[in-house]
Amino acid sequence: MALRQACFLCGVFLLVAGRCGAFETYWPVAVPASPPAPEFRESASAPDDPFIAGLKAFRAGQMDDAYRNALQSAAKRDARGQLALGYLHLIGKAPEADYAKAAGYFELARAQGSALATMYLGVMFEYGLGFPRDRGAAARFYEEAGSRGASTGLARLANLKFAGTEIPKDASGGLELATRAAAANDVLGQYLLGMAYYHGWSGASDYAKAYENAQKAAASGHAQSNTLMGLLYLEGKGVKQSDELAASYYGKAAAGDGYARAGLAYLHLYGRGVPKDEKIAREYFEDALKQNVAAGGLGLGYIYRDGLGVAKDAVQAMAYFEYCAKAGVAGATAARDELAKQLSEPQIADARKRADLIAAKK
């Protein structure tokens, strides 16, 4: 059992470096279903400022009023109103929302020097929203946004440099940019620094620095940083090992991060820091898999293979292992090959069909 726990832990948590967000399919930094709303100093504006009225409406969830006031602001050639209109179109909250309109409004605001509008144009190119995906173009927009004072632009550029997809990989450059963003209290920059120091993307791992930066971002409510904090406590890296604190941080992140749900599933499966509950573990693994965390399937494979709270089903376990092996989950190939020795050819063929069905649902 200890060996199986170790293999499973490897499969779930080594993939923290391969996390995917709502738009992403290629690199670790999870992006929310919509980017964070622009923040402005309300005290700097007149009481009857339509943009401020729209911002307040947006925060209250009154999207029609937000859109109406943003239109009034943009009609005065206010870059903030143009930015707001672009953002509402980007996240699908404008009437007849349209990515092309979003880009048009962002370009108008960018022409007036808006760093955030420039950054959002980078987001659109990075994720192929209204444009063919072009990370090289995204990098240029992020660099421009950073030069105009948008720290998140620096962080997003750092992320692209760490990834090295469509642009030259530059871990040291990514680390420098993430450090600058984090120094400006940018949550994404802090998270990236935590990840970089945890994985040693630019040199040796430094778990103390990973903890320092992840803790800052986690305190701001950043889900993925809370997950990283949970991992550090679970493994006892940079901190004293604590299953209880690992569970606490995973719990804080669970609503917004499938990896945290996979972590909680693991803890419930083996009763580490939380009551042992195989049913809850299975549900968390299923939720993680629905959130495109392939490692959730590895946990389900173990559950069905060993009959943990369910009837043993070697074929279903094999299906999950096969799916995870194709997805590159650490430990899945070995688990699949070991189990295959116990199955007939028709059972293996059945498992492969089931694995294809699992993949088709993603």
Q: Using an 8 Å Cβ cutoff, are 161 and 177 in contact?
A: yes
Residue predicted with more confidence, 4 or 198? 198
What pLDDT does 27 receive?
A: 29
Chain segment 191-209, per-residue pLDDT in tens: 999 999 999 999 999 999 9
CA atoms of 17 and 226, how far apart (whole Å): 15
Residue predicted with more confidence, 29 or 111? 111
Instruction: Look up tokens 């370009």; give the residue.
Output: 107
Residue 130: pLDDT over 70: yes
Which two tokens mark 179? 């450090």
16 band by pLDDT with thresholds 50, 70 and 90: very low
55 band by pLDDT with thresholds 50, 70 and 90: confident
36 band by pLDDT with thresholds 50, 70 and 90: low
Phi–psi pair at 184, nearest 5 degrees: -90, 15
45 band by pLDDT with thresholds 50, 70 and 90: low
Least confident segment among 31-45, 64-78, 133-147, 231-245: 31-45
Residue 46: pLDDT over 90: no
- What is 26-53 written as a DSSP string? SSS----SSPPPP---GGGS-TT-HHHH
User: Which helix H or strand E contains 199, and what residues bound it?
Assistant: helix 187-199
Q: Taking all residues of the chain, what is their mean pLDDT, rounded to a whole number?
A: 88
What pLDDT does 14 receive?
A: 44
Chain segment 91-111, per-residue pLDDT in tens: 999 999 999 999 999 999 999
